[in-house]
Structure formats: structure tokens, C-alpha cells
């Protein structure tokens, strides 16, 4: 039975309408996906890039920065070292008990053993993250840890941390005030300054051949006997640091040969001056060129004494991996260098000896104020 002309016309209309709806839906889905992608690009993961956009760890240096040459003396004991921050962003992991240990930095005591039965707190730390004499860097590392708690916001920090056996407890000696991962995040488990054990740290996935520029401030340690000023007035530190080492009066600046620079104290924001053309430094390695740009745009906070004649930069170690391992895999050489006679060590000398203190880095003028050298960090994702 043949369909009438009216029926055929009606069917054609239905087909056209359905096709149009399909096109509209496809377009809408595409728009929603594009908006989602843009939103993702315009936000950041707090677990990977924490704290507020105007935190000291995220603020770029400004055009009003006042620069004072730090006159850092060349390190002679080794080419480059690191100070590992233990960063544990696993809020859903089973809780691990952390007990008090009085071992501290005493080489004759074991950090693996608790002292009495004083439970400091329990934190979500994977049991397979082993921090022991066999795995940590150096003999008695600073060993500050930052742990994200189950609420997804609170960061607890303590030092020095050890977890020597899978299935066992952890130990530590000093607790620091809780920080909000969405807040300013200034303070934490760098005992020589009271500054954060997560803000300013080089994280997994940064400083790679494809990661692009570093978009936050860094953290460094210097040999205080040569490079950190102390007097009775300043006590060897400045904002945002809350303290200096307990031995500062006896140790800081005791072997100084370069001119005295009062501005270079614990907590100083160290940076390459904008007057320095990075190309003029004649850096030999690509990672040094990336670091140099970060030193110029964001700077690095001086957070601890190396206690020997070397430079150190803060890097991540945790359940997500070890920055030092990733660095060597990507660049073909170890970030730590004993010898001074290699391109990386020469590059570190070139950068560190050219650093200035941003002398007007204050709470109201973070980075010196004025026009920022880089865009502010994107808003934090709340997923």
C-alpha cells in the first residue's frame, strides 16, 4: 500500500527535525567539553600545586622589587646537593601511627625506634613508602614530611620522619602547626626557618624536557658559615621565616670572606636580577636554564643551613616517586654531583653566585610588589 503525499511529507519533516536535533546535541556536547577543558586549564590540582594564588610559594616577583646582591660564596665541597621533602598526598590511604623519637640528628641514635609510647598522631601514609637509613639521602637528613589528612584539606608536618619497615609504625620528633592546602601554607617542617615542607618544592613532573616553565617559588639551603648573616638584632632570620637555627649565633657567617650582606638571612627571597640576561650566564645544561628562569621570575626562599660547603635545592620524595630519580631519567645525569668539574656543577655556581636578595619582600609586598613578572597561579580545583 503506497503512502500518501501527506504522509511522505510528514516523514521527511520528522527526519529533517531529528537530524537537526542530532546536530544541535553534538554541537552542545562539543561546547560543554570545550568549556570543561578550558576550566581544567584554568584551575590547578591542589595536590600537585598547592596553596592560594597569593601565597609566598606562588607569587611572582614584581617590578618594584629592590635587589641586593647576596654575594654568595662558591660552594667548594661538592657540585650540587638536594634536600628531600617527603610529600604524601594520599588522604584515602590507611592510617599509619607516628610515634615520638628523640633520635633527631644524633648519629648515635636510631630514628627507626620510638622513644616510649608517645603517639604523635596517625596519618594516611602508604605502608610501602619506606624511609630508612637504606633509602634516605645522607646520614641524618632534615627529613621533613607533609601529609594530607583524610579531610582533603589539612596538611600535617613533622620532622625528622622515619618509617623503616613495611607494616610498622613511623617516628618523628617535632610537630608543626597544621596548614590548609587551600590557604597560604607559609609555615611547616623546615626546622631551620619554620617554613613549609611542601611549598616551593620541586615536584614530580616538573623540570622535565616537556614540562615547560616552573610556575612557583623554589626553596634552597646555603652553607650558613659562609652565606647567612647573623646579629643580635635580626637573630639571623627575616620574614617569612619564623626562626633560624638554634646554633645561629655561634655558626652563621663565621667563615665569611665576601663582603657582609645583612639582607641575606634565613627566609630571604633569593632571585636573579631582571638586569641579568640569562643567556649571558652561558649555562651549559637545559635544566639549569629552566631553573634560572624560575629564579628570575619567582625566586627561591632560603629555608635551611646545609651545614657543609654546598648548595641544596628542595625536591620531592614520596609515594608518587622521587624527583631525583625522574631528573636523572630525563636528563641523563644525577642532580646530585660530588665533583665540581662538570657542566651541571658549573651551572649551579653560575646561578647561585649571581643571586640577589629581594630586600622588600614583605607580607604586603610579596615579591617586591608592582607589575608581576609572570601570571598569577590559576584558581585551585575543588574536585
Q: What is the pTM of this model?
A: 0.89
**Averaged over 103-128, what is the pLDDT?**
97
Rg (CA), the chain: 26
With contact defined as beta carbons under 8 Å apart, do 360 and 55 qualify?
Answer: no
pLDDT in tens, 248-296: 999 999 999 999 999 999 999 999 999 999 999 999 999 999 999 999 9
- Helix (H) / strand (E) element for 123: namely strand 119-124
Examine the pLDDT at 11 and tell me if it is beyond 70.
no
Burial of 328 (0-12, 13-18, 19+ CB in 10 A): middle
Q: Which of 257, 348, 337 is nearest to 300 (CA)?
A: 348
**Averaged over 369-383, what is the pLDDT?**
94
With contact defined as beta carbons under 8 Å apart, do 147 and 157 qualify?
Answer: yes
Separation of alpha carbons 15 and 353, rounded Å: 74
Write down the pLDDT at residue 41.
57
**Averaged over 365-375, what is the pLDDT?**
98
> How would residue 382 be classed by pLDDT, with cut points 50, 70 and 90?
confident
Separation of alpha carbons 243 and 187, rounded Å: 11
122, three cell numbers: 596517625
Examine the pLDDT at 24 and tell me if it is beyond 50.
no
> How would residue 27 be classed by pLDDT, with cut points 50, 70 and 90?
low
> How would residue 19 be classed by pLDDT, with cut points 50, 70 and 90?
low
**Averaged over 230-255, what is the pLDDT?**
98
Separation of alpha carbons 305 and 355, rounded Å: 17
- Helix (H) / strand (E) element for 35: namely helix 5-41
Compute the Cα dihedral for 206, 239, 85, 137 and give only its sign: positive
3-state secondary structure of 179: strand
279 vs 12, residue with greater confidence: 279
With contact defined as beta carbons under 8 Å apart, do 168 and 97 qualify?
Answer: no
Examine the pLDDT at 214 and tell me if it is beyond 80.
yes
**Averaged over 15-19, what is the pLDDT?**
53
Write down the pLDDT at residue 58.
98
Kindly report whether the peptide bond that precedes residue 160 is cis, defined as omega within 30 degrees of 0: yes
Examine the pLDDT at 28 and tell me if it is beyond 50.
no
Distances (CA, A) of 371 to 225, 240, 268: 35, 21, 21
Ranges of each domain in the chain? 67-87+182-380
- Helix (H) / strand (E) element for 324: namely helix 323-331
3-state secondary structure of 53: coil
Order the strands of the 119-124 sheet from edge to edge.
119-124, 95-100, 170-172
Examine the pLDDT at 36 and tell me if it is beyond 80.
no
Q: Which of 292, 266, 277 is nearest to 346 (CA)?
A: 292
**Averaged over 22-43, what is the pLDDT?**
49
Write down the pLDDT at residue 251.
97
With contact defined as beta carbons under 8 Å apart, do 85 and 199 qualify?
Answer: no
Examine the pLDDT at 172 and tell me if it is beyond 50.
yes
Write down the pLDDT at residue 34.
44
> How would residue 39 be classed by pLDDT, with cut points 50, 70 and 90?
very low
CB atoms near residue 3 (< 10 Å): 10
Examine the pLDDT at 229 and tell me if it is beyond 50.
yes
Distances (CA, A) of 135 to 40, 317, 323: 36, 11, 14
Separation of alpha carbons 85 and 159, rounded Å: 10
Examine the pLDDT at 38 and tell me if it is beyond 70.
no
Examine the pLDDT at 99 and tell me if it is beyond 60.
yes
**Averaged over 166-183, what is the pLDDT?**
98
pLDDT in tens, 332-350: 999 999 999 999 999 999 9
46, three cell numbers: 591542589
Kindly report whether the peptide bond that precedes residue 240 is cis, defined as omega within 30 degrees of 0: yes
Distances (CA, A) of 141 to 47, 78, 135, 196, 348: 24, 17, 11, 16, 21
Amino acid at each position: 500500500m503506497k503512502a500518501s503525499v501527506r504522509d511522505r511529507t510528514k516523514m521527511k519533516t520528522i527526519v529533517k527535525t531529528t537530524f537537526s536535533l542530532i546536530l544541535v546535541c553534538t554541537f552542545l556536547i562539543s561546547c560543554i567539553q570545550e568549556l570543561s577543558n578550558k576550566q581544567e586549564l584554568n584551575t590547578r590540582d591542589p595536590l600537585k600545586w598547592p596553596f592560594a594564588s597569593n601565597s609566598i610559594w606562588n607569587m611572582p616577583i614584581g617590578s618594584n622589587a629592590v635587589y641586593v646582591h647576596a654575594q654568595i660564596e662558591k660552594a667548594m665541597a661538592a657540585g650540587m646537593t638536594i634536600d628531600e621533602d617527603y610529600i604524601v598526598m594520599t588522604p584515602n590511604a590507611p592510617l599509619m601511627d607516628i610515634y615520638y623519637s628523640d633520635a633527631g640528628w644524633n648519629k648515635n641514635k636510631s630514628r627507626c625506634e620510638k622513644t616510649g609510647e608517645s603517639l604523635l598522631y596517625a596519618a594516611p601514609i602508604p605502608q610501602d613508602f619506606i624511609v630508612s637509613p637504606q633509602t634516605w639521602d645522607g646520614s641524618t637528613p632534615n627529613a621533613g614530611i607533609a601529609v594530607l589528612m583524610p579531610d582533603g584539606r589539612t596538611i600535617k608536618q613533622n620532622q625528622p620522619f622515619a618509617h623503616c619497615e613495611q607494616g610498622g609504625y613511623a617516628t618523628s620528633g617535632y610537630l608543626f602547626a597544621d596548614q590548609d592546602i587551600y590557604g597560604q601554607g607559609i609555615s611547616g617542617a623546615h626546622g631551620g626557618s619554620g617554613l613549609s615542607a611542601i611549598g616551593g618544592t620541586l615536584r614530580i613532573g616538573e623540570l622535565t624536557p616537556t614540562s615547560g616553565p616552573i610556575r612557583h617559588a623554589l626553596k634552597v639551603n646555603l652553607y650558613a658559615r659562609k652565606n647567612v648573616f647573623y646579629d643580635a638584632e635580626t637573630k639571623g632570620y627575616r620574614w617569612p621565616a619564623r626562626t633560624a637555627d638554634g646554633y645561629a649565633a655561634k655558626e652563621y657567617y663565621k667563615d665569611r670572606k665576601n663582603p657582609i650582606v645583612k639582607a641575606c638571612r634565613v627566609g630571604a627571597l633569593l632571585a636573579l636580577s631582571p638586569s641579568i640576561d640569562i643567556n649571558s650566564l652561558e649555562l651549559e645544561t637545559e635544566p639549569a636554564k629552566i631553573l634560572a628562569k624560575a629564579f628570575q621570575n619567582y625566586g627561591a626562599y632560603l629555608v635551611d643551613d646545609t651545614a657543609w660547603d654546598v648548595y641544596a635545592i628542595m625536591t620531592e620524595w614520596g609515594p608518587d616517586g622521587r624527583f631525583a630519580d625522574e631528573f636523572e631519567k630525563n636528563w641523563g645525569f644525577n642532580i646530585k654531583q660530588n665533583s665540581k668539574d662538570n657542566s651541571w656543577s658549573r651551572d649551579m655556581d653560575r646561578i647561585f653566585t649571581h643571586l640577589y636578595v629581594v630586600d622588600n619582600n614583605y607580607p604586603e609586598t610579596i615579591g617586591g610588589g608592582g607589575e608581576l613578572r609572570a601570571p598569577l597561579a590559576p584558581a585551585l580545583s575543588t574536585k
